[in-house]
Structures are given as structure tokens and as C-alpha cells.
Chains A and B, each alone.
Chain A
């Protein structure tokens, strides 16, 4: 497919996406490798599960490929990827939560760790793994909108305007969701991180 073309690794996202729109699988491969990590991290933080994140990431890129003919160049390609990612999240959410309920029930029987119980973890003893688990749990305790706004802004670094497009809401709403998330996370993690 690509041996008659220039290497595509230096081509900007938007130009690659237009090629993808014409069915160019090589251009899509470059886009995938450039951005799959972002989607993977996003879905990991949204779901709290590494395997769920992998599935959702694949599903997201598959949708981008299948919808390629409908792509219209507005906003950044990364924003477009997260728009599809958000759609995939909401679509798969019932199944994700169902699986998590089953998983958390079986885990609760194995260990009784609870991030909201500050006595469970003396500050000085909290290991890195424990801190990461507590953060995942605290993030899971946010509303979906807060979680999404927080992750897209502070972890993925998308501009507020871009997030507003992804989340289909006003810019100020994104900002207030992010602030609410930061406030709630600080409360949930106080005593665990050296805050």
C-alpha cells in the first residue's frame, strides 16, 4: 500500500487523517502509533482497568477507521480521537460497570483496602503501589463528567476549548468540572499524599 509514497512519519495529524479518509491504512498506522498511548491512558484512568482500557482503545481506533469517510477537519485530530473515545466510553459503560461490580465484589473478599479509610494507610507506610491504587479509586469516585474534564485537561493537556468540543458543553462547564474534580481528589487523598 505504501511503497510508492514518502514516509508518513513527519506528516501532520490533519493531513494524515485526510489520507485515512481516503482509505489509506498506512496513514492510519502512523496516527495509531502516534496517539494510541493517549487513548490507552485515558481509558485506563476512566475505567481503572488495564484490560478494559486496551479493549476500549482498540474499539475507539476501529471506529475512527470505520467512520473515516465522515471525518471533517474541525479542531485537532487528537480532539477528534477523544470525541470518538467519549462516544465509545458511553456506549460500553454499562458493560464496564457490570464487570467492575463483579470484580470489586470478589476483590472485597480478598482484601479490605479502602482508600477513603485513612486509618488503613499510615502516611509513612503508603507504598507507591498503594498510592496509585488510592488515586485510581479516588478518580473513580468522581462523576464521569468531572473525571473526563480533569483527565483531558490535566493529564492529556487538551486546551479547554478543545475539551468543550469533545464533551459537547460550554468551556466554563469544563473548567468548573475540572476544579470540582481537583477539590474532591485533594479531599479524598489528603493524608495519603504529602499534601
Chain B
């Protein structure tokens, strides 16, 4: 039996601008997330992904429609209770590091929720172990790499034992190595603990790892589906300004220049397999 963790029901939202002209940043969006799923939300810059994330954690409230988290309608009244059940990782590694050392930062949410000291110590240790940062308890933020800081942020979220982890472009400011570290940690968490993950990204390579992809375009929901379903519509993705994964681009270019390749190739491995078997099907 699948359990719903979060759902958007015909949600619209517009920012109040000074001129009074209000274009909808989020336009009639509906979708649901089930427990244990990894959802990727993709879309070009300014397509409304961060606005969507802010609606999910009650930093903004919808003009129309409902946001339901843990089967409750999100409102001022249950806001704090709901937030304490979810973890959030933002884009900028520096601007979300509150504590003066790694362990202080991981403990921040615990302190806010009044967790007793002895519990805090074990939870901080456990969470840091989960993100492979056990040897960095006393490190100061400016001695950490971006990837390490983001992993600390994930540990800070995990310390509260969340049922849902929400990440808004958590890897977009990292170098490739930092990005891989963070993605690996999230993958590991997902398989080990069955954590529900909503990951916002404009990197389609990262979206490949998700169970389901939600594609946003100009505040509207373009489509949702499994990575295979979504990437079958490569042209549409390119048309709305998304950068296709490298393997897919190569495969398309090869076909354009006359090679006989069948279907789309999303990962390097698939592409290699497609290439060395391409002559057999003749």
C-alpha cells in the first residue's frame, strides 16, 4: 500500500510586484509524491522550481489550490510541526551553514526542536556517519569544500529523522567531484532507509537517477513520467531550454550523421552497448 507524502492540488501562485502586474510564477500545478519515491523536478531557470519548493515548506502559501504534506493541508497552524518532519537542503553551501563547526550545524535543527542533550550527541554522530563526514566533527565551515558543506547540510536535515528530504539545486554550485559525493550520499540513503526525496535540478544527468521526473516550463507542469518516458521526448526538453545528458547528445548527433542506432541512450553504458551491437541488427 503506497502512502502519499506530499501532493499539490491545482496550485497557483504569483509574486506581488511593484507595478501590480502579476504573472503567475506557478500556474495550476498538480502532482503527488508517494512514500519512498525519488522525484526530480526539472525546468529551465525561472521556470518556478524554487517557488514550488517554497510552497512545499510553507515559506509561501498558494493563491489558489492546496498543498498537502503528510496528508494535512499546509497552513500557518501546522507549519512548524510539518517542518520538523522534513529536511531541506538549499543551493548555496555557505548561506545555510549556521553553526560555527560541523557538529554545531548538524545540531541546529535539534536544538530548535528542543531535543535533550544526550539524544543530540548520538543523533549528530549518526547523521554525520550517514553522510561519510564522521571525521569532521570539529571542522569549521571555511575549511570544508562545497561538497562537504552540502553533505553537512544533509546530515543536519537527517538528524531530525525526516520523512521527506527536499533539495533545491543542492548540487548546482559544486564542482563535479562535490556533485558526485552528494548524489552518492543521497542514493545510498534512499536504498538504505527508503527516504522520500524531492530533488530540484536543472541537470538532467542527475534527474536520470530519479524514479519519476516532473518537468516544469514557465510555471506550468509540462509532463511527468519515468526517466525513460521523459527522455524519449528529448526534442521537447531541448526546446524548453534543458541541456540533455552527454550520452544522449552524442547518440543523437551520431544518428544525425547517418549512423544506424536504435532508440535513445541516456547513459554512457547504454550508448556503448548500443554502439557495439549496432552492426548485429543489420
Are A and B associated in one complex? Answer: no
Residues of B within 8 A of A (CB): none
